[in-house]
Amino acid sequence: MPLTPSFSVSQNSGTKSIITAVDTSTGADVTVTKRRIFLLQADGTYLKPTGVTTDYIDWALASSSINLNVLTQNTALQITVQWLNVSNTVVYTVATAFGFAAYGDEFYYNLTQLQQANPNIIAANTYYYYKMVLRVELDSAAQAISFAGDINSAQQCFFRANKIIDNQSYFF
């Protein structure tokens, strides 16, 4: 059965900086000897772990998954995986847009916990306003990815969400 290349990615809320990619391909192709993964950001640069000098990260064929410690904030990426032969010729390529929002989701949940610990906080004029703005930006980023695979619009939403998180003392 020929190789049908595919992959999935996830971000764990407990380790927000790490993206885990899993090769979910089916079938086999004996000519494939290695994989590469590219993490393209909306600004056209590649996200990569410290010490990696190429635009891609080598992903050993023997490992079905790879953990990439690369995130510092909510980020939209176009992730491309290539399957190569012994001559480094690309045999298969799959690219998909992803949005990683665990930083924003964790902060949003912390706001919910704050409401429970301090119910009077909701009386502040701007508390709910900025909480809703944060939610709208996170949801809009997810929609840009799921509807159109648009990492540029998603990243702009994440920038606005990150601004709220980074300046929380001003907004909350």
In the chain, domain spans: 7-100, 102-171
pLDDT by residue (tens digit) across 71-83?
999 999 999 999 9
pLDDT tops 80 at residue 172: yes
First to last CA, the chain: 57
Write the CB contacts of 167 (distance below 8 Å, at least 6 apart in sequence). Answer: none
Q: Tell me, which fold does domain 7-100 have in CATH? A: Immunoglobulin-like (2.60.40)
Exposure of 82 in the CB half-sphere (CA atoms within 13 A): 15
What pLDDT does 76 receive? 98
pLDDT by residue (tens digit) across 83-117?
999 999 999 999 999 999 999 999 999 999 999 99
Which of the four pLDDT bands, split at 50, 70 and 90, describes residue 9? very high
pLDDT by residue (tens digit) across 123-160?
888 999 999 999 999 999 999 999 999 999 999 999 99
Contact by Cβ (8 Å): 90, 82: yes
Q: How far is it, in rounded angstroms, from Cα 139 to Cα 157?
A: 9
Mean pLDDT of the chain: 96
The first and second tokens of residue 98, run together, are 């992803």
